[in-house]
Amino acid sequence: MGIEVGGIFGLLILIADIWAIVSTFQSGASTGVKVVWIVVILLLPILGLILWLLFGPRSRPRMV
For the segment 5-56, what is each residue's pLDDT rounded down to a tens digit? 678 888 899 999 999 999 999 988 889 999 999 999 999 999 999 999 999 8
Residue 38 lies in a domain: yes
Residue 18 lies in a domain: no
Rounded-to-integer distance, Cα 41 and Cα 4, Å: 18
Residue 8 lies in a domain: no
Residue 50 lies in a domain: yes
| Type of residue numbered 15 | I
Higher pLDDT, 17 or 62: 17
The range of the structural domain enclosing residue 43 comes to 28-57
Residue 63's pLDDT is: 59
pTM of the predicted model, to two decimals? 0.78
Residue 56's pLDDT is: 86
Q: What are phi and psi of 57, to 5 degrees?
A: -70, 145
Residue 23 lies in a domain: no
Residue 4 lies in a domain: no
Task: Count the domains in the chain.
Answer: 1
Stated as kind and residue range, the H or E segment containing 47 is helix 45-55
Residue 17's pLDDT is: 94
